[in-house]
Amino acid sequence: MKIEIRAISAFQDNYIWLLSNPTTGSATVVDPGAAEPVIRTLEKEGLTLENILITHHHADHTGGIPELASRYSPQIHGPGNPAIPGISKPVQEGDRFQLMGVQVEVIAVPGHTLDHIAFYLPDSDANPNQPVLFCGDTLFACGCGRLFEGTAAQMYASLQKLAALPAATAVYCAHEYTMANLQFAMAAEPDNPYLPEHHELLTQKLSKTGISLPSTIAAELRTNPFLRCHSEGIRKTLSTHNLETSSNGTDELMIFTALRQWKDNFRAAS
C-alpha cells in the first residue's frame, strides 16, 4: 500500500502531518491543532479521515480533535491523558498497531510533557527504504523541545531513544524551527564542519519548497547539539560561557542541561 506524507500548515509554524493513500482515499493526520486546514485539504483531495495520531496534550496539537471527530468519526490514537479530548485508542510505550496497512510502534518520550509519545513506522510504504518518525515537540531539526513538565534527565533519555533509531529514519517534527535552531547549533559548536553546509542546503530547500522537513536521524546526529553532548567543542563553548557542566566536562546529562538552559534564553546575533 502506497502512503504519501505531506505537511498541512497551521498557526504560525505548526505542521499537521497528513498520511494518505491516493488509491483508497484514506487519510490519517498527526497532531491536528486546528480542524479547518485539515478539512479544507481533505475535501480538496477527496480524502476520508480514518485516523488521528496525537503525540501530547498541548492545544496546538489537539485543538482540532472535537470538530474532526464529529465530522469524520476517526480512530484517535494517543496518550491515555484525560486532558486530551476524544482519545479512542489510548497507547503507551511498546504498543504496536496497524495503520493504513503499516505497522506503527509507540515510543514514550517524556520531557517536553510527561505524556509525550512518538510514533515510529519501521517499514513505511511511503518509502520502503526509509523508516518514519513522528516526534511532535520532542526532537526538532537541530533542536529539541522545551521542558514544560518533565526533567532534563527525562528529555535526555527520550532523545537517546530516538537517536538510536536507524540513521535513515525520516524525522517529521511538528514545527518549522529549523533555521533558528541552526543558529543556536552554530553558536554551541562553531567548529562543527557539517553545520555551514547544512545551513546552505536548508536555506536552498526553504527557498524552493518553504519547508525544511523532514530531517533524518543521520542529519541530526551530525548537526543537533542536543544529540551531541559528547562533543568536545560543545563542552568548550559551554565553559567559555561560564555554563555549568561538570568538574571534568564528561557528564553528558549535565552538558545537555546546560545546553537546554542556554537555548531557553538564546538570542542570535543580528
Among all residues, which ones are annotated catalytic? 56, 58, 60-61, 112, 137, 175
CA distance 173 to 113: 15
Residues 200, 237, 152, 141, Cα dihedral to 10°: 0
Instruction: Please name the residue that has the C-alpha cell 561538570.
Output: 246
132 contacts 53 by C-beta, under 8 angstroms: no
What letters, b where the CB count within 10 A reaches 16 and e where it falls short, cover 247-267? eeeeebbbbbbbbbebbeeee
Bridge partners for 20 per DSSP: 4, 27
Residues 6+ apart with CB under 8 A from 226: 143, 144, 159, 256, 259, 260
116 contacts 83 by C-beta, under 8 angstroms: no
CA distances from residue 223 to 6, 67, 76, 159 in whole angstroms, order as listed: 24, 39, 34, 14
